[in-house]
Chain A
Amino acid sequence: MTKLKYILQLADTALILGHRLSEWTGHGPILEQDMALTNIALDLVGQARSLYQHAAEVEGKGRTEDDLAYLRTTTDFLNPLIVEIPNGNFGDTIARQFFFDVYNHTFYTELQKSKDATLSAIAEKSLKEVKYHLRYSSDWMRRLGDGTEESHQKIQTAVDSIWMYTGELTTMNEVEKEMLSEGIGVNLESIKPIWTEKVKAVLAEATLTMPESTWMQSGGKDGKHTEHLGFILAEMQHLQRTHPGATW
């Protein structure tokens, strides 16, 4: 069912990035940044829950939000690759977050118009939270780019190495095309130029160089992942897989 796949794509994206950011818990460079990254993680996991609940309802086969998060395998996951790549250093995490937040903010703004009332409500709710995420990651891009020689060099390296994962965010797969034609999904073609403009503006303020267009990685949204996702799922799912049905 195409709509189920579409909702799972969104849910998996929020969950996996939320999980990645939660790895910073207790490891942030300073206390305030530790709290900021984990706050963003919490928002994303919360958004994922709303999406999985909706997916479970749409599927209507008795699977719950937990089944969808904990009992699907790597090839079932439909998130774009950018959210599963490792955190790297603080600059790598910020650059990944910034590219994603610009996309996510524009995406949820458009998704509010979805004909699916629940998706529209989730978009309206999430957008208010994503607004903070975008402000946070944009501020840090400027601060690191226009900071010391070392911070500038590190964040430029991060931008250059993550760049090849950004294309997938705004390239439509078959599921997204079909959902667009039904008035449920978002037109990523129209998001692409907005994303590029916004990214360009912040990189300029940060005195960073925008990478040349290059060959882009893709496949995540169709279940073809990097090796990293397997490790994330192993950590995230091992309890439910070892002790099926365990609850607090």
Chain B
Amino acid sequence: MTVKEILSKVCDPEIPVLTIDDLGIIRDIIEQDDQVEVVITPTYSGCPAMNMIEVNIKAALQEHGYQKIKVTTILSPAWTTDWLTESGKQKLKAYGIAPPIGSVEKADLLGEQNIECPQCNSTNTEMLSQFGSTACKSLFRCKDCLEPFDYFKCH
């Protein structure tokens, strides 16, 4: 397996249906002789999952025989939900979290609009709080099926 294939099986510790590949946080993979350097970028500055992700990346590579592993964090360009993969968005929805809709620029301009309820697909929804259970989510409620749900916000 290539390094990329190994990393594509490492999951986010807080949203375990997403791999770090789905999240778009792997910025580079540099293989030189017997050393691998994985360059990642944090989703949010204070995201407590980042330390765990680093540990998991090292463990996954070690399992496949890599010995010299370096995980480097870069901040620029800043991570954006525009880097989430299509399959990542579908997995989020199946997991009960509404995926980010549209581009970050549009959300900045018009606010979060027409967020679809992951349970009944209604867009008749309202935001309860822009801050949710983790930094990457807002709390919404469906006005049709009345279920509260998490929205993975455009960032």
Contacts and interface: CB of A to CB of B under 8 A. Distances in A.
Interface in A112-129: 117-118, 120-122, 124-126, 128-129
Contact of A42 (B77, B135, B139): B135
B131 A136 contact: yes
Interface of A: 32-33, 35-36, 39-40, 42-47, 49-50, 117-118, 120-122, 124-126, 128-129, 131-132, 135-136
Given A43-B135, A47-B46, A128-B155, A121 B75 contact: yes
A40 B76 contact: no
Q: Is the interface of B mostly helix, strand, loop or mixed?
A: loop
B111 to A, nearest CB: 9
Interface in B4-52: 42, 44-48
Of listed B42, B46, B129, residue having the most chain A CB within 10 A: B46
Nearest to A124: B78
Interface in B111-146: 128-133, 135, 139
Interface of B: 42, 44-48, 74-80, 108, 128-133, 135, 139, 155
B75 A46 contact: no
Contacts of B74: 121
Given A43-B45, A43-B46, A45-B46, A125 B76 contact: yes
B131 A132 contact: yes
B112 to A, nearest CB: 11
A122 B80 CA distance: 15
A132 B132 CA distance: 12
Given A32-B128, A50-B45, A125-B42, 11 more contacts: A35-B132, A36-B130, A42-B44, A42-B46, A46-B44, A121-B78, A125-B45, A125-B76, A128-B78, A129-B44, A132-B131
A39 B135 contact: yes
Given A32-B128, A35-B131, A125 B46 contact: no
A129 B45 contact: yes
- Identify the 3 closest CB pairs spanning chains A and B, nearest first: A46-B46, A46-B45, A121-B76
Contact of A32 (B42, B78, B131): B131
A33 B76 CA distance: 31
Given A43-B135, A121-B75, A49 B45 contact: yes
Nearest to A37: B131
